[in-house]
């Protein structure tokens, strides 16, 4: 079997067809042998039939959760490097992705350079500190989102645990995340 660095098979699982095709073409130009899938079912099938060395998986797919695909890839090939992409960036989902076996987590829109760098980054390489760290408002919002996810998206239970009024929490959850 080829070393992970030599074999450049890449599975891209995303339900956004234009993005999936564009990313597939860009990664082929970078030397990857690309397989495209648009659903959890297709992603799991591709992982079983030809386990990829690398994968880029969208977190939210029309037929389920992309973490199911991450699990299938990791069980078919333990040393696969999987990146999770999502348009809904939150610390809680990033932690979940890493627990399921992803090596990195990127928010959309991520370009092909960011994805390639994340896929090929060696374990001993440390990421650069962020140029623009999160604001205090963003950290607060992320914490609320994490507790909300841990409470299975139950507003009343989340409000109780955060010691805040339920309606206040509902207003915070209805707003977009601060920068």
How does pLDDT run across 10-27, given as a tens digit for each residue?
999 998 888 889 999 999
Q: CA-to-CA distance for 104 and 84, rounded, in angstroms?
A: 6
Residue with tokens 């090939």: 77
pLDDT tens, residue by residue, 45-59:
999 999 999 999 988
Among 40-44, 94-98, 172-176, name the one with the lowest average pLDDT: 94-98
* DSSP code string of 2-55: --TTT--EEEEE-S-HHHHHHHHHHHHHTT-EEEEE-SHHHHHHHHHHS--SEE
Angle at which helices 91-99 and 136-150 pack, to 10 degrees? 50
CA distance 70 to 74: 6
Q: Coil, strand or helix: which one is 174?
A: helix
CB atoms within 10 A of CB 177: 14
Tell me if the domain spanning 9-120 has CATH number 1.10.274.10: no
Domain boundaries, the chain: 9-120, 136-174
Quick one: what percent of the chain has pLDDT higher than 90? 36
pLDDT in tens, 125-150: 555 655 666 677 877 887 888 888 88
Cβ atoms of 174 and 164 within 8 Å: the answer is no
SS3 107: strand
Average pLDDT, rounded, for the chain? 83
What pLDDT score was predicted for residue 90? 66
Tally Cβ neighbours within 10 Å of residue 116. 19
Same fold, 9-120 and 136-174: no
pLDDT at 126: 57
Per-residue confidence at 2, pLDDT binned at 50, 70, 90? Answer: very low
Distance CA 33, CA 84 (A): 19
Fold annotation for 136-174: Arc Repressor Mutant, subunit A (1.10.10)
- pLDDT for the residue 31: 92
């Amino acid at each position: 079997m080829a070393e992970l660095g030599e074999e450049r098979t890449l599975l891209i699982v995303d339900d956004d067809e234009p993005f999936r095709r564009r990313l597939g073409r860009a990664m082929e130009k970078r030397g990857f042998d690309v397989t495209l899938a648009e659903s959890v079912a297709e992603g799991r099938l591709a992982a079983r039939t030809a386990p990829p060395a690398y994968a880029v998986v969208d977190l939210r797919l029309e037929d389920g959760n992309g973490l199911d695909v991450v699990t299938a890839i990791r069980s078919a090939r333990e040393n696969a490097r999987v990146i999770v992409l999502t348009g809904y960036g939150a610390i809680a989902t990033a932690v979940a992705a890493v627990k399921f076996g992803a090596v990195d987590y990127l928010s959309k829109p991520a370009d092909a350079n960011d994805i390639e760098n994340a896929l090929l980054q060696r374990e001993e390489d440390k990421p650069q500190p962020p140029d623009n760290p999160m604001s205090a408002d963003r950290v607060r919002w992320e914490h609320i989102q994490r507790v909300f996810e841990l409470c299975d998206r139950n507003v009343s239970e989340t409000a109780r645990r955060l010691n805040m009024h339920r309606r206040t929490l509902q207003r915070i959850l209805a707003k977009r995340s601060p920068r």
